[in-house]
Structure 1
Amino acid sequence: MNVFSLSIFGIGTIIGAGIYSVTGIAYGHAGGTLWISFILAGFAAVCTAFSYCELSTMYPSAGAEYIYIRNAFPKIPYLSFIMAMMLFFGGAAISSTVALAFAGYLQFFINVPIYLVAIGLMLICTLINNYGIEQSNRVNILFTFIELIGILLIIWVGFNLNGPVSKPIFNIHKGTLIATSLIFFIYLGFEEIVNLSEEARDPSRDIPKAIFFSLGITTVLYLAVSFAVIRLIRPEVLVLSRSPLADAVSNAAPSLSRVMAGIALFSTANTVLITMLVLSRMVFSMGREGDLPRFLGKVHSSHMIPHIASFFVLVISCGFLYLKNLEMLVSFSSFATLVAFISVNIVLIVLRYTKSHLKRPYLIPLNIGSFPLISFLGILICLVMCMQFEVIIYVTALLIVLISSGYYWGIRLYANLKK
């Protein structure tokens, strides 16, 4: 994969997850400051993106955070395992979240069981990913251009509306920060570019470019869409919607609502496709390293695709559908993303001192000696965002840590007893 295809992967994931699935929930909290929430989330993501760029050129391997933490703390492999499991479950929650959004938009055309549709979509995406990376890449490029048309459509409708329903607000309030924390998981799309390092033609050159291209383009689009949404519909109406952008457009241009819903189907399907692809690579990497059962680290004899890991991702993602609470799924995904970003920034700082001799094809700017100021700023911003969630999210995260820890230490105890 070259810079273009890697960037398209990132753009497709970021746009599909955020704009088409969680805009309504975020708007309900932020109101007229929705645009500020996107700016804050984008700024925090950019700070952490610098760390990802440097680390990805040092360790161009599938597994991203899992590999980085293992190298930063080689004597404490438990840390990399727990972080990988948090990200894995967060990613599975993203797949479920966006699959439910797909089912919501499908209701514009046909009345079908939402959860059955979500499961069917994830199964189809798994089969496509098992067919080969080139096929997934072609589908992703096609779907991304379709969803970009949808973004431009809602911007056009929003800015050609006479007498806007609402207006932007410039005063940051509690809801602004809550919305920022909720939408944060959408920026995990650029991290998914890093997980495709082994498929990149020249990782040290192409990965950093693709990360900043995808972040820059999507942040500008998010900002424009947020202004359009504010002009089109009131937050108390959109917060209840299962198809937020289609409902926003229908308020001003009813004839275009079905077109918008159709485009949203491509966009949300694209995000599920990419997210499940990257999660399968993460599981494959952990299986190959022995932190998960080794059969998950096997590849298909002809396609060379981690097919077992792909179906494992499908099963776990379907399990999240039983939560039946879209905001909880979104919140947990964002919390897992924030924890991952904090960890990556810490790892970058640690490696600057413990492995200063390693070659770094990309080096973060703005340093005091070896200390990266941008990474430190990223940690501070993410910590503030981590304090905006409901108690249930912290309890869920703790349960995942406890269950994963039980598996981790249980396997090692069993291995020692066998010896």
Structure 2
Amino acid sequence: MSEQQTTLKRTLNLPMLIFYGVGVTIGAGIFALIGEAMLIAGNKAPIGFVVAGIIAAATGLSYAKLAAVYPRAAGEAVFVNIGMGPNWARLVGIGVTITAIVSSAVIALSFAGYLGQLITIPAPILVLAILVTMATIACLGVTHSVIFAAIVTTIELGALIVIVWFGAEHLTVPANWVNGLAPPTDFSLWPAIFSASLLAFFAFVGFEDIENMAEETIDPHINVPRAIIGTLIITVLIYALVALVAVSAPNPDAVANSEAPLATLFAQLTGGNGDLIAAAATIAMVNGILVQIVMASRVMFGMGKEGLLPKAISKLHPTRQTPIRATILVTVLIAILALIFPLGGLARTTSAVILVVFTLVNFSLWRIGSRKDAAPSLQRWKLLGLVGAFLSAGLLAIEMINQLSNWT
């Protein structure tokens, strides 16, 4: 098979980008980690999702502003390279790749957990089978991948809307909104809420991946920022409603302790079984794995092209125009992590790494916007970078303090 250095093909429009962003954002985060968040913060878990959403939104605006000026693959590394230099950029690019790889391992484990509710096959076999299948689709081309992701996104969104529909009666009770979203006056509860926020932050990881598709997007200066903002609006709304329904369920403890929490929630709301939601969740996991493989391989490709990784990693297939070498490497690393480490630890690691990346990207916006030759839009929004950096670093610092206090 011959390879040559070529360019990525511009085939993605705004709707396809939003489908991609929503598909990579919504998935394992809400389908698997809502239970984990409830175990940590109890009925205040929705606050954790709101806090995580606020931080994601602040950073999302920074990404949108930077992406409008620098629409390139490996966007985070490009932003930080321009703002802080190549060493920091290399760190960020590696961090983004690690995030995609580790989060894909989380999703693969969640996939095995939900599918295990439907069929009896050992989890390691399920993990390996789905990774090989998704890597194959990723190698076929970005259009195939995004169309597949769009179809699956429709299914997973439908499943979440069904849960909200059947839980609507709980959303009409004002006391449930107060119970789930009112800030507690007992300050001893806040460490648990912030810890749940870090975990919930994993559920928002994905919107930033849109930037890494910039070189395959039509009119990226316009469509990439719009897709980032649109993805965040859709995601925050859905997460808030689903989290409120979950903590208002007849038996929230059963939801929190379930290996398939939304399937258990659906069964409680309808009086039936949760097989329908388990099936939809399984499909959602498939989607999340695919888009993360696509994103991580593009980051590696972009870093190779920028000279931040060996040039060999930026080689594209001459006809498919996909980074097959990077795709295979990413898939192998995901498989290793998924077969060795537990879900909760992987999710926390993902959130911590991406918060470091977000802090540096936000700070880069401020650095770039402070320059006299910077684009006017970046000069106007440079203070947004400081706000986003403060919020991202703050959540990470609070979690580190919580963990240290637990160890002592």
Query: TM above 0.5, one fold?
Result: yes
**Pair 1:353–1:26, CA change in 2 (3 A):** same
Contact 2:76 2:361 (C-alpha < 8 Å) held by counterparts:
yes
> Alpha-carbon deviation of 1:100?
0.9
1:146 partner letter: I
Contact 1:21 1:268 (C-alpha < 8 Å) held by counterparts:
no
- In 1, Cα distance between the equivalents of 2:340 and 2:403? 12
Partner residue in 1 for 2:117:
108
- In 2, Cα distance between the equivalents of 1:256 and 1:148? 19
Contact 2:139 2:327 (C-alpha < 8 Å) held by counterparts:
yes
Partner residue in 2 for 1:154:
163
Contact 1:232 1:249 (C-alpha < 8 Å) held by counterparts:
no
> Alpha-carbon deviation of 1:114?
1.3
Partner residue in 1 for 2:393:
383
How many equivalent residue pairs? 385
Partner residue in 1 for 2:132:
123
- In 1, Cα distance between the equivalents of 2:385 and 2:57? 10
- In 2, Cα distance between the equivalents of 1:126 and 1:388? 37
Partner residue in 2 for 1:303:
320
Contact 2:62 2:388 (C-alpha < 8 Å) held by counterparts:
no
**Pair 1:218–1:391, CA change in 2 (3 A):** same
Contact 2:364 2:385 (C-alpha < 8 Å) held by counterparts:
no
Contact 2:47 2:183 (C-alpha < 8 Å) held by counterparts:
no
Match of 1:89 among 98, 103, 108: 98
**Pair 1:94–1:22, CA change in 2 (3 A):** same
Matched residue SS, 2:274: helix
**Pair 1:184–1:231, CA change in 2 (3 A):** same
Q: CA RMSD in A?
A: 2.3
**Pair 1:305–1:248, CA change in 2 (3 A):** same
Structure 2: 5+ residue runs without aligned partners? Answer: 1-11, 185-189
Matched residue SS, 2:26: helix
Partner residue in 1 for 2:3:
none
Deviations 1:265-308 (A, max 9, x none): 11111111111100000011122233323221100121111000
Alignment of 1:261-340 (within 5 A): 261-340=278-357
> Alpha-carbon deviation of 1:161?
6.0
> Alpha-carbon deviation of 1:382?
1.2
> Alpha-carbon deviation of 1:109?
1.2
Matched residue SS, 1:147: helix
**327-336 vs 378-387, which deviates more?**
378-387
- In 2, Cα distance between the equivalents of 1:267 and 1:88? 21
**Pair 1:152–1:256, CA change in 2 (3 A):** farther
Match of 1:35 among 46, 50, 60: 46
Partner residue in 1 for 2:69:
58
Structure 1: 5+ residue runs without aligned partners? Answer: 395-419
Match of 1:132 among 141, 165, 178: 141
**Pair 1:62–1:233, CA change in 2 (3 A):** farther
Matched residue SS, 2:257: coil
> Alpha-carbon deviation of 1:199?
1.0
2:259 partner letter: R
Partner residue in 1 for 2:7:
none
Contact 2:17 2:224 (C-alpha < 8 Å) held by counterparts:
yes
1:6 partner letter: L
Match of 1:342 among 328, 348, 359: 359
Deviations 1:315-370 (A, max 9, x none): 1111212443211101010011111111111000000123x42445xx36xxxx75
Q: Percent identity of the aligned residues? A: 27
1:39 partner letter: V
